[in-house]
Structure 1
């Protein structure tokens, strides 16, 4: 939404906003509009939601708008070359990484998970390949030790909106300069799967800490405690920790956290969520859910 809001605020004539069809959501599984659709309606803009953006009727509708340029941000569907060729000045994509690092569906999460010190946004010219097009402009930002997928997403959304508005005028005026991506340093950010959210206690604590931050707000890392699935929202690797316990063993319990042995070091769980409950600091969680040293988490 920040990119759309920024375009409207800058006075650009947004002839239509494309977003995916409404999806079932919530306990009632009723169709719910995307945040983009809601923002577009707020601005009084036309909304299109084709099931197949590459289909003949969708292409004809897009061509009828006679767009100068199309701006794409996390659309979630692949656009075929025939669609990319419709706008007079091409299609521009706001991508949440510093390309060619982290091409693909989950660049924010994969950057945090890998321990990258920096990420950013790119404005790139789209082509048939997945995030392979030439880069028009970039804007970097550091990844802080306490950053999560949510905080980095929100920061990059703002940076991307600013980058778009700062760059688009020159692009439409004929100053269309883009730099081909380097052939080296290419990495791929595969789509996040819910199956990845189970903590592997054999892995080092520092890796699991990064994954917990990366998978906030979705799918949220979790551990099995008896019959319950315990969601872990925040944790930290305890420096210099070494015990003889098997991975997954609860070593210590206190108001600062629940210390669990991993394959390398202790992981201190600091904010957790029981089934049917809400996320809580460990000190609050323990009042209703006692945890004891010697327990094993799977």
Structure 2
């Protein structure tokens, strides 16, 4: 997808990867960027920093009616949606001890929000014969987020859902991309490190921590090439191959890393 003159919607747009995507889309010549986030004040500040082509709104991505209203309002305002970025996400930092509320929150934000946006935006895209869905899924969706069971399980589900969408709708003009970065310098990672979450510590120790702008650069390149799997950390592809070819060895390596960090 060439972003020039495109209408893009981004959830989780108040900071981190979402805000970086919005700034980069604007720099690429997008006609409009609609930013949505639960933190209304923060997302409006991001939109104001971008300028007149950006529009901000408060949104709870776990409320399907709100997601549908966002899509309907954007289509009324701009006539169409060319690119929908389901970017909002949450971590838990928990394992089997994580309570049902943590699992439910991870499921609703990391998976169901993607389902809700696809349900809302696909009819218009299919009628127009084209469109692109960009789902932020994390490298945890193709590997494992050590120390965070709800995040691992739901990000795997997010990648699986994106793949299903791609297989089902590509021949009808819909492109789907799963954005799967590893460590990114965002409040999510910083909060996890501050709380001492094992998953955040493993992420920080496993490789380069990219800036959100670097992830946005990779996303734009992947969209231009219409790639399904967008890996801002190219080494993740190698990790995934090792994991598939030698799962026992892959798990042994992660256990060794966990022992070193725990010590």
Q: Which has the higher strand share?
A: 1
The structure having more radius of gyration, on CA atoms, is 1
Bigger proportion of residues as helix: 2
Task: Report the TM-score range of the alignment, normalised by the length of the smaller protein.
Answer: 0.3 to 0.5
- Taking structure 1 as the reference length, what is the TM-score of the superposition? 0.38
